[in-house]
Structure 1
Amino acid sequence: MSTRSELSRQLGVVAGFDDPDAALEQYPTPPDLAASIVHVADLRGDIEGKTVVDLGTGTGMLALAAALRGPDRVVGVDLDRSALLTARENERRVAASADVGWVQGDATDPPLSVEGVTVVMNPPFGAQRGNEHADRAFLETAADVAAVSYSVHNAGSREFVESFAADAGGEVTEAFEAELAIDRQFDHHDADRETIAAEVFRIDWT
């Protein structure tokens, strides 16, 4: 198993969005965050030999991080065809040996027939007007298809995530703080780079 820092380095070649959509909150997942999530998941036995599904995969950062840790297969789901084309290019750059499939579709109602999988996701935080609580729909999907899920949420979301998981028959078994470094990419951004506090949760749905 590669170290977390080695995994982050391998993911450094993953390209982001060519034309990000603010309404979809298309922010790239930083390599170090993806490496941290997948490293923890692998240590917990949730990656190697498993089917891993990345909901809202974007250009594939989390899916490809998982693909580098010996899963049985990986599936990335996203609405944006352009992002998936970039994800396929990123797959070639990373050169993972795992079977990776890219599926265009709604991550909150994925066109997949799977259950008992490991879900990894960095869903929209719901920061845009009219898109509040967007992460709830992603959690609902994880509750339906996952044995375990790892998801990134806005800082201060622990009470919500724990309550949602409990109501859906799951349990938060691990949580850790994280940071998202976001470069200026939309008109509403005031700074060239902003660091957003976030939290990552592991939920056992079994």
Structure 2
Amino acid sequence: MATKRELEGQLAVVVGFEDPQAALEQYPTPPALAAHVIHLADLHDDIEGRTVLDLGAGTGMLTLGAALRGPARVIAVELDGGPLATAVENRRRVGTRTPIHWLQADATQLPLSIPEPVTVVMNPPFGAQDGQAGADRGFLSTVASVASVSYSVHNAGSKEFIEAFAADNGGEVTHAFSAAFAVDNQFEHHDEERREIDTEVYRIEWDN
């Protein structure tokens, strides 16, 4: 098994958003953060031989990280067709042969049922844009309906909400840690070349 650092290096070739949409909060997951999340999931035996579902897959960073750790298959769900096409190209760059199913769909209204136990990995919208407050709630609702375990990235200060949501929907937070999320200047409202925002990553076990 590749080390976390080696996984980060493999993911460094993943191309980000060509035309990011602020309303969809399309920020690429940094390779270091993706490698950390996937490595943690692998240490808990939540990837190898399992079905992994990436909700809001973007250009495929978490999808491809999971694919490099021996799952039975990965299902990547992304609403925007542009990033999904980039994700397909990124698969060629990364070179994984794991079966990956690319699905253009709304992750909050998942158009498929998955009979086997599912591990969800996701970096959902944080709800930081005007009118988008609570945007990650819809993603979590999908997770609660399909996952046996999930790993998700959220804005700092989400602990109370995440724990309450999990408890109300048959889940339990087992692990949580803080992580820096580097954001490049890609929208008009950004006034710095790059800044780091504080995020939190949660591992939740569900009753499914």
User: 1-side partners of 2:46 and 2:111: how far apart?
Assistant: 23
Find the counterpart in structure 2 of residue 100 from structure 1: 100
Q: Which residue of 1 aligns with 2:55?
A: 55
Equivalent in the alignment of 1:199 = 200
Amino acid of the residue matched to residue 152 of structure 2? S
User: Aligned pair 1:69/2:103, yes or no?
Assistant: no
**Identity within the alignment, %:** 64
Q: Counterpart of 1:172 in 2: which secondary structure?
A: strand
The whole-number CA distance in structure 1 between the counterparts of 2:124 and 2:114 is: 19
Specify every segment of 5 or more residues in structure 1 that has no aligned partner in the other structure, as ranges. none
Partner amino acid, structure 1, of 2:55: L
Deviation, 1:112, is: 1.8
Amino acid at match of 2:198: A
User: 1:139, CA displacement in angstroms?
Assistant: 0.6
Aligned residues: 206
SS in 2 for 1:13: coil
Letter in 2 for 1:77: V
TM-score (norm 2): 0.98
State the distance in 2 between where 1:17 and 1:114 align.
28
Q: Give the whole-Å Cα distance in 2 for the aligned partners of 1:107 and 1:167.
A: 20
1:110, CA displacement in angstroms?
1.6
Equivalent residue number for residue 177 of structure 2: 176
Cα distance, 1:114 vs. partner? 1.1
1:134 and 1:44 map into 2 onto residues whose CA distance is 28
Equivalent in the alignment of 2:36 = 36
Within a 5 Å distance, the mapping from 1:121-200 to structure 2 comes to 121-200=122-201
Q: Give me the whole-angstrom Cα distance separating, in 1, the residues matched to 2:131 and 2:140.
A: 18
* SS of 2:41 mapped into structure 1: helix
Where 2:10 maps in the other structure, the secondary structure is helix
Q: 1:97 Cα shift?
A: 1.9
What is the root-mean-square deviation in Å for CA atoms of aligned residues? 0.6
C-alpha deviations, 1:131-163, integer Å up to 9, x for none?
A: 101011111000001000000000111111000
Cα deviations by residue, 1:143-194 (Å, 9 ceiling, x for unpaired): 0010000000001111110000000010000001111100000000011101
1:38 shift after superposition: 0.4
Please list every run of at least 4 consecutive aligned residues from structure 1 whose deviation after the TM superposition is greater than 3 angstroms.
Answer: none
Q: Deviations over 1:65-114 (max 9, x none)?
A: 00000000001001100110000000011011210111000011122211
Secondary structure of the corresponding residue to residue 151 of structure 2: strand
CA separation in 2, counterparts of 1:77 and 1:23? 18
Aligned counterparts of 1:203 and 1:112: Cα–Cα separation in 2: 22
What letter matches 1:196 in structure 2?
I
